[in-house]
């Protein structure tokens, strides 16, 4: 028999999958559930409908309930605590009645360049295009008609949490992608907020930014309880009881840091999924103010340098899907996991520099290398043989290339990272993508046994911290002392020849970026004809 009152449920709405993970007091997963979904490009914006959000959440939770019953023979009616995480940032504006004023604009959109540039100058800090404040300011610049009716602005995690609890709150890590956080890591930066409020006042809206932003909470703080209506939203069967406490809602960056024990200064992680990004927890403020580095926070408010690339594994997945279709033409059915593992391992026999292939995985625009629109592209040198093993290696290299260019600015700042941990599906095959990342960054890269659990597991850990922490115990101490003390990790050191090969690949990759920008602009002009 399982005592569900001491469990922690983490739910994460990722870009391609909604996942639920239930863990016990020993932090070991007891049951899991998931639901596949995909964003759509509608009217120039990447989006999901709110109907899809709730259908996906209910399906993922129902899948977890089935798994729990199969493993324990019990019906899941309560958990000790639950928490919601989701893809970070984006734009979800609501009116007084709670109606969405414009379709959800996700982190993937690169439509806020003018606003992001102006705000970066005004606030003297990089404001990325995907941040909520950039979306809001661009809507103001575009004179979007619904703005006088705005009463609440939040992220996807904040929206789901509000529907479950009635509380307009947000974890500080996710909040740091809405508006800059102050040096104490506890609330929005008061001086920057005042600067923006002065700019906003000229428009005469009946609200201030402070009015519409969610309240900021740090990890472990009270974030409300599950209401009757919230319980029915998550579990329409009626089995789930209300009154369950919730942890502060977070973004996938914060849950990734938690899942990899990377919340203490001089630690970092690389999360590889639909997007790919690195997070390095800082010892001191950065001098660099370029748009390749975002300044965000851990779930407990420590400063983090983030390099976020809009494009991760989507194009790679599309190519693997094409190879799968080829196999099916010959009547071959290969399980997805086996297909990825076999292809990834074959890349280890490829040329260190990718064999003359360059893969630009830009399904969407890529702000880190200043390419405005999506132009997925493969280039191949005609004087070198076109081999599958080389192509596969160059595809994985392509997932890391823009990230490496962005992280070069941290090298210039002499930012120290003692431990860099990878997680996400790209690292599911041991010793492949991890090996290439170590070569790309010229640094050791660790992958934990729980790397495949992802952000839902990280959210469950944040719930467990809220429920189980000792008085005064920091999140970093809790993770090190009670979660990961016996965790095994595979560490790949950078190999000299491989690192030199990736550097050659990166040099050629960077040399052609201006042409890529031009192609993106040509594509946009053609679409507008």
E strand intervals along 261-342? 267-272, 276-281, 294-297, 303-309
Q: In whole angstroms, what is the distance from residue 263 CA to residue 479 CA?
A: 9
Global pTM reads 0.89
E strand intervals along 345-503? 357-360, 377-380, 419-423, 445-448, 489-492
Q: What is the largest CA-CA distance in the chain?
A: 67
* Tens of pLDDT, residues 252-273: 999 999 999 999 999 999 999 8
Quick one: what percent of the chain has pLDDT higher than 70? 99
Structure tokens at 385: 């043989």
pLDDT reported for residue 483: 94
Contacts of 96 (CB under 8 A, 6+ apart): 149, 151
Q: Are β-strands 489-492 and 445-448 bridged in parallel, bridged antiparallel, or unpaired?
A: antiparallel
Q: What is the CA radius of gyration of the chain?
A: 22
pLDDT reported for residue 110: 85
Q: What backbone torsions phi and psi does residue 407 show, to the nearest 5 degrees?
A: -75, -15
Q: In whole angstroms, what is the distance from residue 463 CA to residue 459 CA?
A: 6
Instruction: Assess if residue 367 is contained within a domain.
Output: yes
Instruction: Assess if residue 421 is contained within a domain.
Output: yes
Q: In whole angstroms, what is the distance from residue 280 CA to residue 416 CA?
A: 9
Instruction: Assess if residue 463 is contained within a domain.
Output: no
DSSP element (H, E) containing 31: strand 29-36
* Tens of pLDDT, residues 209-225: 999 999 999 999 999 99
**CB 318: neighbour CB atoms within 10 A?**
12
Closest CA to 365 of 106, 63, 124: 106
Sort 180 into a burial class: Cβ within 10 Å, 0-12 / 13-18 / 19+. Answer: buried
pLDDT reported for residue 108: 86
End-to-end CA distance of the chain: 65
pLDDT reported for residue 132: 98
Residue 468 C-beta-side C-alpha neighbours within 13 Å: 24
| pLDDT exceeds 60 at position 452 | no
Q: What backbone torsions phi and psi does residue 152 show, to the nearest 5 degrees?
A: -155, 130
Instruction: Assess if residue 7 is contained within a domain.
Output: no
Q: What backbone torsions phi and psi does residue 188 show, to the nearest 5 degrees?
A: -60, 150
C-alpha distances out from residue 450 to 113, 396, 455, Å:
37, 21, 11
Instruction: Assess if residue 42 is contained within a domain.
Output: no
Residue 449 binned pLDDT confidence (cut-offs 50, 70, 90): confident
* Tens of pLDDT, residues 176-201: 999 999 999 999 999 999 999 999 99
Count up the domains in the chain and report the number: 1
Q: Which domain holds residue 521?
A: 314-449+489-528
| Region 229-239 average pLDDT | 98
Q: What strands lie across the sheet with 29-36, from one edge to the other?
A: 29-36, 17-23, 8-13, 81-86, 250-251
pLDDT reported for residue 529: 62
Q: In whole angstroms, what is the distance from residue 481 CA to residue 477 CA?
A: 6
The residue to which tokens 């031009």 are assigned: 518
Instruction: Assess if residue 350 is contained within a domain.
Output: yes
Closest CA to 381 of 509, 500, 503, 513: 509
CA torsion 317-278-56-449 (nearest 10°) is 80
H-assigned helices in 142-267: 156-165, 172-175, 190-201, 209-212, 228-234, 252-259
Q: In whole angstroms, what is the distance from residue 289 CA to residue 373 CA?
A: 23
- 353: domain CATH number is 3.30.420.40
Q: In whole angstroms, what is the distance from residue 425 CA to residue 440 CA?
A: 18
**CB 381: neighbour CB atoms within 10 A?**
13
Residues facing 230 on adjacent strands: none
3-state secondary structure 453-470: HHHHHHHHHHHHHHHHCC
| Region 398-416 average pLDDT | 94
Contacts of 183 (CB under 8 A, 6+ apart): 189, 303
pLDDT reported for residue 9: 98
Estimate the crossing angle of helix 388-412 against helix 496-511, to 10 degrees: 90
The residue to which tokens 């070069």 are assigned: 408
DSSP 8-state code for residue 236: T
pLDDT reported for residue 448: 85
Quick one: what percent of the chain has pLDDT higher than 90? 87
Q: Which of 22-36, 409-423, 429-443 has the lowest mean pLDDT?
A: 409-423
Mean of all residue pLDDT scores within the chain? 94
DSSP state letters, 196-220 = HHHHHHTT--S--HHHHSPEEE-TT
C-alpha distances out from residue 434 to 72, 292, 383, 424, 513, Å:
35, 23, 30, 11, 25
Structure tokens at 513: 């970026």
pLDDT reported for residue 488: 82
* Tens of pLDDT, residues 81-130: 999 999 988 999 999 999 999 999 998 888 999 999 999 999 999 999 99
Angle at alpha carbon of residue 341, lines to 335 and 344, rounded to 5°:
135
H-assigned helices in 298-413: 314-329, 336-347, 388-412
Instruction: Assess if residue 83 is contained within a domain.
Output: no
Q: In whole angstroms, what is the distance from residue 437 CA to residue 502 CA?
A: 9
Structure tokens at 524: 């946009």
Instruction: Assess if residue 93 is contained within a domain.
Output: no
| pLDDT exceeds 90 at position 359 | yes
Residue 451 binned pLDDT confidence (cut-offs 50, 70, 90): low
pLDDT reported for residue 526: 75
């Amino acid at each position: 028999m399982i005592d569900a009152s001491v469990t922690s449920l983490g739910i994460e709405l990722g870009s391609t999958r909604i996942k639920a993970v239930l863990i016990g007091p020993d932090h070991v997963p007891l049951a899991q559930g998931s639901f596949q979904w995909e964003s759509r490009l509608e009217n120039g914006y990447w989006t999901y409908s709110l109907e899809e959000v709730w259908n996906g959440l209910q399906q993922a939770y129902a899948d977890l309930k089935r798994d729990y019953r199969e493993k324990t023979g019990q019906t899941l009616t309560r958990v000790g605590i639950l928490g919601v995480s989701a893809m970070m940032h984006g734009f979800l504006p609501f009116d007084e009645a709670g109606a969405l004023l414009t379709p959800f604009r996700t982190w993937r959109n690169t439509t806020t360049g003018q606003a992001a540039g102006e705000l970066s100058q005004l606030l003297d800090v990089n404001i990325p295009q995907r941040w909520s404040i950039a979306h809001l300011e661009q809507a103001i610049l575009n004179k979007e008609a619904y703005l006088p009716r705005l009463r609440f602005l939040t992220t996807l995690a904040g929206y789901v949490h509000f529907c479950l609890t009635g509380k307009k709150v947000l974890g500080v890590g996710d909040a740091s992608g809405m508006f800059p956080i102050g040096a104490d890591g506890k609330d929005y930066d008061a001086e920057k907020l005042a600067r923006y409020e002065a700019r906003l006042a000229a428009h005469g809206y009946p609200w201030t930014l402070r009015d519409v932003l969610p309240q900021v909470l740090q990890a472990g703080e009270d974030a409300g309880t599950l209401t009757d209506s919230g319980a029915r939203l998550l579990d329409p069967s009626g089995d789930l009881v209300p009154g369950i406490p919730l942890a502060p809602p977070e973004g996938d960056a914060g849950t990734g840091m938690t899942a990899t024990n990377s919340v203490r200064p001089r630690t970092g992680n690389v999360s590889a999924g639909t997007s790919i990004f690195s997070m390095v927890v800082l010892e001191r403020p950065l001098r660099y103010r370029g748009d390749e580095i975002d300044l965000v926070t851990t779930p407990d408010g420590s400063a983090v340098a983030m390099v976020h690339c809009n494009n991760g594994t989507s194009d790679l997945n599309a190519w693997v899907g094409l190879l799968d279709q080829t196999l099916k033409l010959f009547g071959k059915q290969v399980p997805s996991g086996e297909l990825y593992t076999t292809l990834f391992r074959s890349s280890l026999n490829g040329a260190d520099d990718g064999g003359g292939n360059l893969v630009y995985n830009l399904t969407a625009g890529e702000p880190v290398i200043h390419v405005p629109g999506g132009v997925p592209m493969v280039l191949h040198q005609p004087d070198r043989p076109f081999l599958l093993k080389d192509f596969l290696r160059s595809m994985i290299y392509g997932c890391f290339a823009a990230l490496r260019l962005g992280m070069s600015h941290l090298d210039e700042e002499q930012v120290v990272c003692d431990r860099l941990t990878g997680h996400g599906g790209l690292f599911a095959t041991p010793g492949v993508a991890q090996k290439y990342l170590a070569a790309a960054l010229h640094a050791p890269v660790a992958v934990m046994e729980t790397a495949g659990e992802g952000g839902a597991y990280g959210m469950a850990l944040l719930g467990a911290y809220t429920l189980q922490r000792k008085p005064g115990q920091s999140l970093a101490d809790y993770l090190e002392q009670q979660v990961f003390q016996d965790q095994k990790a595979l560490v790949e050191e950078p190999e000299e020849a491989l690192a030199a090969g990736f550097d050659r690949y990166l040099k050629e990759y960077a040399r052609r970026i201006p042409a890529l920008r031009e192609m993106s602009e040509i594509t946009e002009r053609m679409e507008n004809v």
